[in-house]
Structure 1
Amino acid sequence: MRQEKDSSGHALPRYQQIARQLTQAILSGELAPGSRLPSSRTMALEMGVARATIENAYGELVAQGWLERRGQAGTFVSQTLSPAQPGFTASVAPAGNGEPLPFQMGLPALDAFPRALWSRLMGRRLRLQTRFDLAAPQSEGETALRQAIVDYVRFSRSIDCQPEQVFITAGYGMAMTLTMRALAQPGDGIWLEDPGFPFIRPVLAQAGLRFCPVPVDGDGMNVREGIRQHPDARFVLITPAHQSPLGVALSLPRRRELLDWAALNARWIIEDDYDSEFRYQGRPLPPVKSLDAPQRVIYAGSFSKSLFPALRTAWLVVPPQCVAAFQAAAKQLPCTVPPLYQQTIADFIREGHFWRHLRKMRHCYGQRRQWLESALAEQGFSVTPQQGGIQLVVPVEREDSELAGKAVAAGLAVQALSDWRIAHPGEKGLIMSFTNIATPEQARKQARALREALK
């Protein structure tokens, strides 16, 4: 094996060299999503290294989201990866007929989207296009959509910004890539919620960032613990409105503590507000960005959950002092969302359809969550209480990775809570979505299928 070195010229540990080889095999398509890796014992014999070395390599790639463990079934390449966009996709592959799999996460209610209205708006945009709309699009995104986002976040999230602070990207993964291209250096540390969304970790790893897991409790990310364990980290990635996957909100004292630390130490906070619109009880806490007098917060949003994921459209609101750096990065990584899509989204927002759609979906998701909770209770499952979001957690006593493997084998797209953890152990559970459960009968059918799969 060729000896690899880090950015400072030192030889990488053997387990990291092996991890990099496996990553390259995944990127090249040699190891396809869902394929099973040899056991650590077998791999160690083949490579002439200690079994612990292989375990460390596998463990690092599990933490980064490249691999997933399924209990006694073994270690597999993550189902959510694709060679075209390694490390990030919103959901697992759909069923063969195109229908979402039972409990499939990362999808809004596809049956509830106003497709006829959307078709009319897009058709009108097509008819109004001029020859100038055929030119290369703006690298930062269409002006109309950027202005619509400014108006939306000002009134819905109390964020005051200007259109030049808004950058449109082809999905959340590309938003993170753009942020790292603009601000990060290889070796920079980034606080990650533990447990937290695993499928963005390969994107961050590709940028050369160093993972700094911070535990999450009932008040969200433990900021004091993050400062104690990782004081030199340069970035914080956080889901404060509705932590993924536990569903807790970052308390107001911790929000202020995080902002104070970032301002004092010149750190950057990346606020992922991925499903703050879907809260069923009480008013949500204000976004961290709305409290950001020091201007240390980069605010990330996406239309994948609020509209539909096929749009592949996300956006960033960056502090004024970062605009030039993001503009330079965007010239290298220009927005690839078709202008027609961007213009149609802008019309959808500006004409009030977005607000009406969100109100409708809050009611829809509250009802569908209740259907699934009741159906799961009939099968002897409990559900962790949450005040919003589009997924839920079912606590389990047995090894959740093994249970998730059984469920996946039965065609149920549940995920293990343990697979979302990095370094801090905690309760076991199964994560699942309810968004595409259209009737109480469908909820009961899926809950029975889950109980049968876990026997």
Structure 2
Amino acid sequence: MTASGGVKLGRDSQLIDLDLDRSGAQPLNEQLYKGIKGLILAGVLRSGARLPASRILARELEISRNTVLAAYDQLLAEGFTEARPGAGTRVSVDLPDLSGDLRAAGPLPADAKAPPPLPARVLDLISRHSPGPGTHRPFLPGLPDVAAFPFDEWGRAVGRFWRRPPLALLDDRDGRGHAPLRRAIADYLVAVRGAKCTADQVIITSGAQQGIDLCARVLLEPGASVVMENPGYRGLVSAFSSAGARVVQAPVDGEGLDVAHARKLAPHPRLLAVTPSHQFPLGSTMSLARRLDLLSWARDAGFWVLEDDYDSEYRYRGRPLAALQGLDGGDRVIYVGTFSKVMFPALRLGYLVVPEPLIDAFVRLRGAVDDFPALAMQPVLADFMESGRFGAHVRRMRQIYGERQAVLRDELITRFEGLFDVPDDDAGMQLTVTLASGGPGGNLADGAITREAAAVDITARALSGYYAGPERRHGLVLGYTAYPADALKRAAGLLEPAVGRALAGGQETRILT
């Protein structure tokens, strides 16, 4: 049912012509409030105009007086109207004249309706960022097998802490994070990764990306030079670019980052980001000589080193390599770690290990933008680590993932001999294969394979997409950790004809030379 036709009043009261939808889900008082507000903003009800008395408006619109009063109260609270004893309710006299003869002028120009444009740096940032995967399908890289996580044990730990939590725990507002978790992380890193740190240096984050972003906020200023690997993790580019830094990308080879080349490109950077234990995405390990050279350069030139240790737990032959941070004698290395890849992504917990001179700056800036990290899962994770269940889970998954890597490697060698160079990688969560230069796909653009694979529900990330600049190697980044052996075999069977279709696709799939 609709009430319309306006309310005709004496003296200087204004006509209010509104349609109210009595069968709609929106309450009538909200419809009335929005309708009158719209008339004010459109200039139909001008500054100082008197609104109908609540009883009269209620009678004419056939609604309750309380409904009208509720709408009037909301308008008054927001400053659209004012009420004076004996004078009724009027449109606020402090409002500017909003009419501008809008009815005579017709529709506003299109550019007048458009919101202000976003800053150029924001547009650049969002153009670089791809939303997270909507579909979980092989060979999506960097994902753990969440089905293998010991949720029964985890659930019992959650119950122990949160069934009757101590009151002090509920008021834990330490900007660095829950102290027992920070101690557990420090003990783990010293024992397993060869790090040199104390719990005071550990800062809990909501994941590696927040840690990287915090580093950019604390250490960088617009125009500062930042060196990173090429190819490399695009999340680093996003964080550094959003801080206004100038990103310089240095090449990577079989020994990791080419430190000598990086020094030529940017002799005095503010920050250098590196993945020394298992370079992403190529998989190489930074040699000891280059690690020492990098640390010496950092001390001499006075810059910071960001060590992204994203999947170092998964080394399938021998012990995990020592962290670069453990070799640092000059307080130059900031270490970034995450639990998303060893436990489950929805946990949203990571950490930073910062040099002592930076602790206060990191904690204060973190407090300014995020106050303190969410506490719910921190004591549970601390207990999980202190009890040894975390270490047991990592060892179990290391065995499982090593077997899956071997399955995928065998499939790739069998199906794509001569087409892809398949590395004998002994670590990580993905295999990166490159198109063999002398093979039938030596001139093939990897994006063509990616498109054909997507058509059969396979995610085969193009290696070229991780590069900056015109010189790019082409290949595929294939994750295996989240998928059982039979799923990997089926996916490889689907990938084989997809690659064949890309090879037969004609000139549009070729690299321009």
The residue that corresponds to 2:434 in the other structure is 395
TM superposition shift of 1:104: 1.2
Retained in 2: the 8 A contact 1:272–1:300?
yes
The residue that corresponds to 2:265 in the other structure is 229
Retained in 2: the 8 A contact 1:92–1:105?
no
1:201 aligns with 2:242: no
SS of residue matched to 2:473: coil
Retained in 1: the 8 A contact 2:193–2:321?
no
Retained in 2: the 8 A contact 1:376–1:447?
yes
Aligned-residue CA RMSD (Å): 2.0
Tell me the amino acid that sits aligned with residue 453 of structure 1.
A
Report the Cα distance in structure 2 between the residues aligned to 1:335 and 1:278, rounded to whole angstroms: 33
Tell me the amino acid that sits aligned with residue 334 of structure 1.
D
TM superposition shift of 1:237: 0.6
1:66 aligns with 2:127: yes
TM superposition shift of 1:424: 6.4
The count of corresponding residues between Structure 1 and Structure 2 is: 374
Retained in 1: the 8 A contact 2:195–2:322?
no
Give the counterpart of 2:306 among 270, 295, 305: 270
- Compared CA separation, residues 287 and 136, structure 1 to 2 (3 A): closer
- Compared CA separation, residues 424 and 355, structure 1 to 2 (3 A): farther
Q: Which has the higher contact order (CA 8 A, sep 6+)?
A: 1
Tell me the amino acid that sits aligned with residue 206 of structure 1.
S
Q: How does 1:77-226 map to 2 (within 5 A)?
A: 80-81=130-131, 91-94=132-135, 100-135=136-171, 137-226=173-262
Retained in 1: the 8 A contact 2:175–2:367?
yes
Report the Cα distance in structure 2 between the residues aligned to 1:334 and 1:141, rounded to whole angstroms: 12
TM superposition shift of 1:199: 2.9
Report the Cα distance in structure 2 between the residues aligned to 1:420 and 1:336, rounded to whole angstroms: 33
Tell me the amino acid that sits aligned with residue 375 of structure 2.
P
Give the counterpart of 2:451 among 396, 405, 424: 405
TM superposition shift of 1:207: 1.1
Tell me the amino acid that sits aligned with residue 392 of structure 1.
L
Report the Cα distance in structure 2 between the residues aligned to 1:305 and 1:366, rounded to whole angstroms: 15
Which structure has the greater CA radius of gyration?
A: 2
1:359 aligns with 2:405: no
1:442 aligns with 2:464: no
1:281 aligns with 2:327: no
Range that drifts further, 276-285 or 221-230: 276-285
Range that drifts further, 311-320 or 197-206: 197-206
- Compared CA separation, residues 335 and 391, structure 1 to 2 (3 A): farther
Q: Deviations over 1:254-310 (max 9, x none)?
A: 000000010011100000111111011234442110011011000110001111111
Retained in 2: the 8 A contact 1:65–1:201?
no
The residue that corresponds to 2:476 in the other structure is 430
Range that drifts further, 135-144 or 349-358: 135-144
The residue that corresponds to 2:71 in the other structure is none
- Compared CA separation, residues 335 and 436, structure 1 to 2 (3 A): farther
The residue that corresponds to 1:48 in the other structure is none
SS of residue matched to 1:392: strand
Give the counterpart of 1:415 among 461, 473, 484: 461
SS of residue matched to 1:123: helix
The residue that corresponds to 2:359 in the other structure is 323
- Compared CA separation, residues 322 and 250, structure 1 to 2 (3 A): same
Could you tell me the TM-score, scaled by structure 1's length?
0.78
Retained in 2: the 8 A contact 1:223–1:258?
yes
1:386 aligns with 2:425: yes
SS of residue matched to 1:224: helix
The residue that corresponds to 2:8 in the other structure is none
SS of residue matched to 1:364: helix
Give the counterpart of 1:453 among 498, 506, 509: 498
- Compared CA separation, residues 424 and 313, structure 1 to 2 (3 A): farther
SS of residue matched to 1:333: helix
TM superposition shift of 1:334: 3.0
SS of residue matched to 1:231: coil
Retained in 1: the 8 A contact 2:305–2:333?
yes
Tell me the amino acid that sits aligned with residue 296 of structure 1.
R
Report the Cα distance in structure 2 between the residues aligned to 1:217 and 1:287, rounded to whole angstroms: 19
Tell me the amino acid that sits aligned with residue 188 of structure 1.
A
Q: Deviations over 1:74-105 (max 9, x none)?
A: xxxx5x33xxxxxxxxx5222xxxxx211112
SS of residue matched to 1:186: coil
Tell me the amino acid that sits aligned with residue 162 of structure 1.
T
Retained in 1: the 8 A contact 2:366–2:372?
no
1:290 aligns with 2:351: no
Aligned residues: percent identity? 34
Report the Cα distance in structure 1 between the residues aligned to 2:121 and 2:416, rounded to whole angstroms: 40
Q: How does 1:244-255 map to 2 (within 5 A)?
A: 244-255=280-291
Report the Cα distance in structure 2 between the residues aligned to 1:386 and 1:297, rounded to whole angstroms: 26
